[in-house]
A and B are shown apart, each in its own frame.
Chain A
């Protein structure tokens, strides 16, 4: 074990503070979500999911994630590969730009797209004239979700790829491997755990994003409400059971994410990120 030793009192205080914090801010909310969702019995809980508007919101959330996550996986791989393996001008600018969605408030991100594609926006009128509706429609939701979840995969991959350097790829090259063979047989296996973890985080955010989606979706029930938006709508209708039932689904996703992360860490033999 480690040789540093704080007094017992300090150690226990630190552990107690962490534990209390976890209970207050993680377990308690989760418990409230579950007890409220199940408070009126299982029948009512499952009945919440038969509401057509709720079903539409679940489908929309799944569709959004199904498009945004693969797109950002591809983008993240391309960006991390380019930044870690090649030298080019303005490289640090690109790294900063990738982080931009992290530093911009989601609401602002949503507004950017309204200003671009809205009825009075920069490109909106021309698109609407051709029958292409982006704002207050599904394409807008997908676009902002892609924007908001843009950095996750790239950010997870970059440190791993930079630490590994180019030697493995150069070795593969001298052994006669093509670029694609090198990528599939050497680069990808070397970063697979970081990639998987980035995809998990990206997916969690894609399904859970509220602010940016709220701005562009127009919150039309049964049409442009995603799960987080539907939860708020149900809550404001005093439909607590349904609101918390849908919330429990999202929370379940978070738990699955945690479990997968734990498995990933266990398989890769080291904590990821």
Chain B
């Protein structure tokens, strides 16, 4: 599904988190919202998800205005930075949660549910850990479970908030490769938030660079890297080289 964000603004008290943000995300793309902390990227992601609501502006999925719909009605998969796995449920039950809470009419039969969860466990290569609890898993494993849980409800769009932020460097590297491969396989419209320019350049089809509640530039990784639109984008994208050059 395509995502359209039009003129979205959001204030928290006196702080202007988002200021007239517009972005068009075509169906099937993997977009990175890149920016420093406080730039509004997580707020924008939460507004797309329906976990926060904009003061002004509109959100549409496939051209259909869903600005006033709740997260429950939007059919989004959301992956939290700190996983937000249900600690009292096994890996299996975590993934099955979204299927079990469906209204009776659309709830899958137990056998179908087991099959579906089994497929997702296979996808994240954790079949043998289905009976474990989240506290018994590593960070990378937890994040994969969180992703499988979000995918179980067959969301229209997949939204990830700093999905690799809490992981160590090696796991992060492996997991972002894996996410990219997964996206190439499933083609689900995905938006992820990151403050790591390397991560955005490597994983995303499109990068939206944000600063002070505005989008400074939208473009492919090559474009943004080769032709930064503003001094801020240049300094943020090339931070590492600039730093190493000194």
Contacts and interface: CB of A to CB of B under 8 A. Distances in A.
B98 A175 contact: yes
A170 B88 contact: no
A254 interface: no
B70 interface: yes
Given A175-B153, A176-B102, A176-B153, A170 B84 contact: yes
Interface residues of B, number: 27
Interface in A165-198: 167-168, 170-178, 181, 185-186, 189-190
Contact of A171 (B74, B78, B102): B78
Interface in B5-54: 49-51
B101 A181 contact: yes
Contact of B86 (A176, A178, A181, A186): A186
A174 B51 contact: yes
A170 B102 contact: no
Contact of A175 (B50, B88, B149): B149
Contacts of A167: 80, 82, 84
A162 to B, nearest CB: 15
A132 B97 CA distance: 50
A170 B78 contact: yes
B84 A176 contact: no
A190 B135 CA distance: 14
B150 A174 contact: yes
Nearest to A167: B84
B98 A170 contact: no
Contacts of A185: 86, 97, 101
Given A176-B72, A176-B153, A178-B72, A171 B84 contact: yes
Contact of B78 (A174, A177, A181, A189): A174
Contacts of A178: 72, 101
Contacts of B240: none
Contact of B72 (A168, A173, A186): A173
Contacts of B78: 170-171, 174
Interface string A137-179: 0000000000000000000000000000001101111111110
A172 B49 CA distance: 13
B76 interface: yes
Nearest to B152: A175
Interface string B160-173: 00000000000000
A4 B98 CA distance: 49
A176 B77 contact: no
Given A170-B51, A170-B71, A171-B78, A177 B101 contact: yes
A174 B71 CA distance: 5
B87 interface: yes
Interface of A: 167-168, 170-178, 181, 185-186, 189-190
Given A168-B84, A185-B86, 17 more contacts: A170-B71, A171-B86, A171-B149, A173-B71, A173-B72, A174-B49, A174-B74, A174-B76, A175-B101, A176-B153, A177-B97, A178-B72, A181-B101, A185-B97, A190-B86, A190-B87, A190-B88
